[in-house]
Structure 1
Amino acid sequence: MDRLSSLLDRFALSARVFYSGTLCGVTTFEATDEAGHLHVVRRGPLQVQGADRRLIDIEEPSLLFYPRPAGHRLRTHRDTGADVVCASVEFGGGLGNPLARALPPLLVIRLADLPALASTLALLLDEAFEQRSGRQAIVDRLCEVVLVHVLRHTIEHRLMPTGLFAGLAEPRLARAIQAMHAEPARKWSLEELAARAGMSRARFAVNFRETVGQTPLDYLTDWRIGLAQTLLRKGKPVKIVAEEVGYGSTTALSRAFSTRLGASPMAWARRER
């Protein structure tokens, strides 16, 4: 399995287009509970302003991606405006999703830097600015395809210096990370993970920590807890969840869960519901 598929299989990605057209003046986007935002700018210019009030100039067709909830504004000239497609984005698992956590607060990519996505973007923009039957379903799915390409682009162009995406960009570390993703219930040891990476135990431990920003076994724990959150949201019993994510008992899962999230699995699940 490739570097992204195991993540996307475990944590579904969804997008919903809620606006396409010409923005004029200042448009404010509020932070919602768990949704981020994707803006595809067909024609500018415009300025982006986040919570820090810093202005970013967008002079050419670009993609703006807020992977986590973040209030922001798009500022355009009142006379010329800017043509934009706006979508809300949710990563399965909510804010505990490792992909959402690993991305920067805002990712800005010129459409010209995404040549492999040219035909998809052309179809998205064509559909978004017309009113054909089935339009909503098509643009939503196309936005999801765009997002997967953005994640791929982030890995292949090494946009993140540290964290999960940096680890996935390193072929040897990626093999170990993929193994943890594929078999979270396995009792992984540092030696086994180092062997998957084709590295010595000591070198693997150092390289993983320097690249990903935490130890391999800490990463494994976070991965398991994130999966547990997703399964609990689906209503699975704690005992079953504990087995599926690699904890031999509900007590062991509860201990790890409380350490990471400050609440037992049952208490967390009740709060989420």
Structure 2
Amino acid sequence: MSQPAHDRSAADALLLSSLDVRSSLYHLGQYCGAWNASTSGRARASFHLILHGDCRVDLGTESLALAAGDGIFFLRDLPHTLMPAGAPPAAPSRGMQPLEPRQPDGTGLACGFFEFRSGLDGLLADALPDYLLLRASDARYAAARGVFQLILDETADPAASPLVVERLTDLLIFFMLRHLAARDPQAHGLLVLARDPAMAGLLQAILAEPALPWSLQDMADRLHMSKATFHRRFTLHSGTTPAQLLQALRMRAARRLLEQGAGIQEAAERVGYQSQAAFSRAFQRAEGMAPSACRKRQAGAV
């Protein structure tokens, strides 16, 4: 069922007021021959937009094919490498070339970084997905596709302005986050709560020490509120309950621990679970995989 127009407008206004995203271009051009590119290793969120041609991105645990009109947005610094779609060609790389004239084997890219200027980067990176993927063929991203077309039109102009591309990318990222928030109530709640300094401080404290009990009274005391006032304010702004978001933050922290090589029991205890079985059930519900599968996938990548 589609969301009523007035509800969606209100949600958009709330989300826009909660975000202040700024992008900066790093690469704008095309690669030919044998090449690879990456924005990882700089401790920053980043993006890659495929302007023409195709390529693939190697994430270690998986490889994704990307075609013209696709984009990938890394919400945290995730190791990755972009490279030609097929087998590496024999022709050596000549470095990044101008977008025009297009080469038969060229892949046009707009790559760069983005940040949430209200200082939410670390909080969002720990609690949101590792990356968002925009597919040109996905009808769900109609609004984002319109912005992407403006980027394509701008970069096709010999007098293209990097500043215009950056501001359009800001808007493109907003639409991607709006899509995430629309299908993930907890993500929407986090984006809104993180704008409130008091609530953001609470969320950061939970992420720093997820093993603490964090009862409703504990959370209310930290904000110097009664339990009733805290619960009402929290649910009104986030659309989710403190207990639901607490579990989501704990499972996200547990995933990080498992990816770093922690054992299942260790990860369970470090996010507040004494029972490995209860932890495994909660992790499966939140992450869509068993903790053992998460560890195996990471081990395979290594």
Same fold (TM over 0.5): yes
Matched, 1:82 2:107: yes
Match of 1:5 in 2: 16
After TM superposition, list the pairs within 5 Å mapping 1:65-104 onto structure 2. Answer: 65-76=73-84, 78=89, 80-92=105-117, 96-104=121-129
After TM superposition, list the pairs within 5 Å mapping 1:143-162 onto structure 2. Answer: 143-158=169-184
User: Is the 1:91–1:97 contact (alpha carbons within 8 Å) kept by the matching residues of 2?
Assistant: no
Measure, in 1, the Cα distance between the counterparts of 2:39 and 2:194.
Answer: 36
Match of 2:158 in 1: 131
User: Is the 2:31–2:107 contact (alpha carbons within 8 Å) kept by the matching residues of 1?
Assistant: yes
Q: 1:37 to 1:7 in 2, by over 3 A?
A: same
Encode CA deviations 1:10-59: one digit per residue, 9 max, x unaligned. Answer: xx422112323322333222534332221111334311013x26322225
Match of 1:195 in 2: 232
Measure, in 2, the Cα distance between the counterparts of 1:33 and 1:56.
Answer: 22
SS in 2 for 1:156: helix
Measure, in 2, the Cα distance between the counterparts of 1:204 and 1:190.
Answer: 12
> How far 1:142 sits from its partner (Å)?
0.6
Match of 2:63 in 1: 55
Task: Calculate percent identity across the aligned residue pairs.
Answer: 20
Paired letter, 1:27: N
Measure, in 2, the Cα distance between the counterparts of 1:21 and 1:140.
Answer: 14
Q: 1:131 to 1:101 in 2, by over 3 A?
A: farther
RMSD, aligned CA: 3.3
> How far 1:125 sits from its partner (Å)?
1.3
> How far 1:198 sits from its partner (Å)?
6.4
Encode CA deviations 1:66-112: one digit per residue, 9 max, x unaligned. Answer: 12223421111556232222122233366754223323223222133
Measure, in 1, the Cα distance between the counterparts of 2:187 and 2:61.
Answer: 32
Q: 1:115 to 1:35 in 2, by over 3 A?
A: same
Task: Name the stretch that deviates more: 41-50 or 179-188.
Answer: 179-188
SS in 1 for 2:166: helix
Paired letter, 2:186: G
User: Is the 1:63–1:108 contact (alpha carbons within 8 Å) kept by the matching residues of 2?
Assistant: yes
Measure, in 1, the Cα distance between the counterparts of 2:132 and 2:52.
Answer: 18
Paired letter, 1:124: I
User: Is the 1:45–1:82 contact (alpha carbons within 8 Å) kept by the matching residues of 2?
Assistant: yes
Q: 1:40 to 1:189 in 2, by over 3 A?
A: farther
User: Is the 2:127–2:249 contact (alpha carbons within 8 Å) kept by the matching residues of 1?
Assistant: no
SS in 2 for 1:29: coil
Match of 2:166 in 1: 140
SS in 2 for 1:27: coil
Structure 2: gaps (5+ residues) = 1-9, 90-103, 200-222, 252-302
Matched, 1:64 2:72: yes
Q: 1:60 to 1:208 in 2, by over 3 A?
A: same
User: Is the 2:18–2:195 contact (alpha carbons within 8 Å) kept by the matching residues of 1?
Assistant: yes
Encode CA deviations 1:111-130: one digit per residue, 9 max, x unaligned. Answer: 33310123321111111232
User: Is the 2:118–2:195 contact (alpha carbons within 8 Å) kept by the matching residues of 1?
Assistant: no
Q: Which TM-score applies when normalising by structure 1? A: 0.58
Structure 1: gaps (5+ residues) = 159-165, 215-273
User: Is the 2:25–2:166 contact (alpha carbons within 8 Å) kept by the matching residues of 1?
Assistant: yes
Encode CA deviations 1:154-179: one digit per residue, 9 max, x unaligned. Answer: 11133xxxxxxx4244xxxx4x9846
> How far 1:180 sits from its partner (Å)?
7.2
Measure, in 1, the Cα distance between the counterparts of 2:194 and 2:114.
Answer: 26
Q: Which TM-score applies when normalising by structure 2? A: 0.53
